A and B are shown apart, each in its own frame.
Chain A
Amino acid sequence: MGVGIEVTNLNAWYGTNHTLQDINLHIPANHATALIGPSGCGKSTFVRCINRMHETNPIARVTGSVRIGGLDIYADAKPVEIRRRVGMVFQRPNPFPTMSIYDNVAAGLKLNGYSNRHALDEIVERSLKDSALWDEVKDDLKKKSGASLSGGQQQRLCIARALAVDPEVLLMDEPASALDPVSTSKIEDLIFQLKSQYTIVIVTHNMQQAARVAEKTGFFLNGRMVEFDSTHKIFTNPSDKRTEDYITGRFG
């Protein structure tokens, strides 16, 4: 099951560039939360702070607290443990190109020391079913490589890979921006199904997509969270003029 995320006084820097400033918000468990805002506003940095990827850059720095289900991820846990609990899907599908479909899904589990072949088979099948890819690849699991799939299938393969390690939170950084409308629609349907089991945070430039899949939406601008509210409120009657100007296309 997903867990809630509590962010308190979060600040992030790249060198001297203060990219996130005093972010405070509660991301509810088992819901999809969308983050919108113009390029460079800090939304991707924010999700990278939720799974401690931001600090992999040597000049990056983070202060403040992020609690995932009560666990302070900067004080109480190691990055590797956090990344098992918090899966991430990127803009461009990035399957391991030489690995089979099966091995792509099993990769994270094998890294974590799983070796029971029967258990792996079950988890791979369940993950591919949860990512709505099973029916399309079940006959070629070990015959075809991840790179042989279409772009939309590759992205669902990456989601299956993220789900295989049984995370509580799924971060998606523009997961459908490189996909055609049919593949985009499948990813959106998938988000709808997955949010009953996981807490989903999705960064998107596509505001219609945010409106379709998310219950909550946050608007970032110049490293600050300008507004965080129900998606319905944000897209029909936002409280802040800057949010309204952005979503109506008056700047950005």
Chain B
Amino acid sequence: MTRIRFQQSLDELKEQLLVMAGLAEQSIQRAIEAYRVRDLSICDLVNRSEMAINRMEREIDQAALDLLAMEQPMAIDLRFILSVIKINADLERVGDSAKAISDRVRSMEQMAQAELPVDIPRMAALAAEMVRKSLQSFIEADAELALTVLTMDDAVDTMNRAAYKSLTAVMEEQSHLAPQALNALMIARALERVADHATNIAEDVIFWVQGEDVRHHKSLKTAPDPHAME
């Protein structure tokens, strides 16, 4: 009963997702680089990647759906396919965030350069590191590495809150810099979302490898029971 073809199909699904992961990771790095050097040709590359990522999202979902329907997987195989479906959606959103950043860079290109009280490169480096680590944990089926990603998310959230505070202050106090500050705020927000998607990917890796659902582990402790609210 060794299901050789099924195992090959799982390997192929993983390879497909890794190709998409490579595109999404490259896309976010390019968007950050486009911001750093204000290069619109890099923004074009991000746009093209986003279309490729969208196409791959549909292909991976279809392949995963086929395996669920045809092979009726169990246990770690079932968890793997569920995780692939969810990671697939997160990678597509990473691609969307990269495009959102590149759209802001285009917008900023038409404005005067301004010194803003926000460290986008540092925030971008941390978010990109989270994406890299979460994908590495997926490649190596390493739940321990995935766990380290979860601990990084708070730092990005803190940076995003600080960016919001300092950039809204700029908008209030230096209204002529409001358009630049707004763009920077939206980029910070996009990076915070990228970090959230990396966190989701890491949680899905832990679920796949250990069968443990670690989502919302902090908020669950204080959340009201929805059944009690009915």
Q: How long is the Cα–Cα vector from A170 to B74 in the complex, in angstroms?
A: 27
- Asked if B223 lies at the interface with its beta carbon under 8 angstroms from chain A, I say no
A selection of 13 A-B contacts at a CB cut-off of 8 Å is: A38-B1, A207-B74, A235-B75, A236-B211, A237-B75, A238-B75, A244-B76, A247-B74, A248-B75, A249-B6, A250-B2, A250-B3, A252-B2
Is A248 in contact with B79, judged by CB distance below 8 angstroms? no
Within 8 A of B (CB), among A205-252: 207-208, 211, 235-238, 243-244, 247-252
How near does chain B come to A207, taking the closest CB pair, in angstroms? 6
Within 8 A of A (CB), among B1-31: 1-3, 6-7
On chain B, the residues within 8 Å of A244 by CB distance are 75-76
On chain B, the residues within 8 Å of A38 by CB distance are 1
Is A248 in contact with B76, judged by CB distance below 8 angstroms? yes
Is B79 in contact with A237, judged by CB distance below 8 angstroms? yes
- Asked if B72 lies at the interface with its beta carbon under 8 angstroms from chain A, I say yes
| Number of chain A interface residues as a range | 10 to 19
Is B2 in contact with A251, judged by CB distance below 8 angstroms? yes
How near does chain A come to B71, taking the closest CB pair, in angstroms? 9
On chain A, the residues within 8 Å of B73 by CB distance are 248
Q: How long is the Cα–Cα vector from A248 to B4 in the complex, in angstroms?
A: 11
How near does chain B come to A213, taking the closest CB pair, in angstroms? 15
- Asked if B78 lies at the interface with its beta carbon under 8 angstroms from chain A, I say yes
Q: How long is the Cα–Cα vector from A38 to B6 in the complex, in angstroms?
A: 19
How near does chain B come to A240, taking the closest CB pair, in angstroms? 11
Is B3 in contact with A249, judged by CB distance below 8 angstroms? yes
Within 8 A of B (CB), among A1-58: 38
- Asked if B142 lies at the interface with its beta carbon under 8 angstroms from chain A, I say no
Q: How long is the Cα–Cα vector from A249 to B71 in the complex, in angstroms?
A: 10
Task: Tell me which of B72, B75, B211 contacts A208 (CB under 8 A).
Answer: B72
